[in-house]
Amino acid sequence: MESLTIGQKLSKYLPYSKCGNEGCKCSAWKLTDDETNENLNKAVCKNCHHIHYSLSDPSDIAWLNSAIQMVDDVERMYILCTKEEDYETRNIYFCILKRIRKALMNKMQPAFDDKPPFERPDVNTAVRNALLFCALSNPQNPEITIELCKLFLSYVNSYKITYPSQRIYKHENKTGYKLIYMRWICHCYAPRFCLTLPYTEATCAFGKNLLLAILPEIKKKLIEFFEQDSITPSVLDAKLHLIQPLTRLCNLLEDNIDNHTASVWDPYFRPPLHPGNVITPNELLQSISIDHVVNFSSQQRNLTI
């Protein structure tokens, strides 16, 4: 994008711009027959004969750079809409496309009406509480470690959740899952490749309801992840040693979901100190980071379509 000339940027942006003249309803600039890409600044529209955009102010250049990214996002979402076979997902993509397009025409940054977090406590808080609970219960040899929690959070954030139409759980709240799926697409998935959309990690946006929906799949996939691609017996053995504590972490989170008095799902949980503790809650809290420590390469923010 930085390598484009001003003329090339204008040629990409202007077809998405609406006329700024009061009373004019022209919503799409068109190139006149005698204009070229290098002469688009203050060029008139073929439809309404008005100038849709000029570079008279320094802020106009900054907006143009932002607009080019939004144009790329619109085109990327259009490709996704044409390729997506799932009906509900295609509709969500189309709604995102329209929202970015509307923001582009109104010279605004795209945003969604409902903003995360959608649940309290979120998954990050629950995992932190599980770590505190286990570390302070057995400080000499904690089964659940900081690195294990980071790996779990990283996997949840990079996990692509199942289409609502492919869910096989009979007693599941289908409407609730569709709402989770829509919010996840808008706030956690689409922003990975539409960089003008605000991005929120799934573990910061969601809590009990998301974990309740995906934990059975997460446990199965994590075990498969650790069992595959092990070249030597020693590497395989090291991976297998992680499966058991990871499963226990998942079970600890899952078993306490319906328990309203459980410390794991208490957003204000602070375990009491005991004389034998070798680590304090504050030291643990300062050690826990939401940053990814494992890259699951297919789900990076700069992935290509």
Q: Per the domain annotation, does 135 fall within a domain?
A: yes
Alpha carbons 53 and 40: distance in angstroms, whole number? 9
> In which residue ranges of the chain is pLDDT below 70?
1-2, 20, 29, 31-43, 49-50, 52-59, 138-144, 229-240, 271-305
Residue 226 lies in a domain: yes
Q: Tell me: do 58 and 163 sit in the same domain.
A: no
Please tell me the predicted confidence (pLDDT) of residue 69: 92
What mean pLDDT, rounded, does the chain reach? 78
Is 145 in the same domain as 292? yes
> Which residue range(s) make up the domain with 40?
6-106
What is the Rg, in whole angstroms, of the alpha carbon atoms belonging to the chain?
Answer: 25
In a domain, 59, yes or no: yes
Question: According to the model, what pLDDT value does residue 169 have?
Answer: 77
Shared domain for 225 and 277, answered yes or no, is yes
Q: Residue 24 pairs with which residues in a beta bridge?
A: none
| Residue 229 pLDDT | 60
Check residue 86 and give its pLDDT.
95
- Burial of 284 (C-beta count, 10 Å sphere; 0-12/13-18/19+): middle
Residue 277 lies in a domain: yes
Q: Are 134 and 238 in a shared domain? A: yes
253 assigned to some structural domain: yes
The verdict on residue 190 lying in a domain is no
Give pLDDT, residue 201: 94
Note whether 154 and 297 are same-domain residues.
Answer: yes
Within-domain flag for 194: no
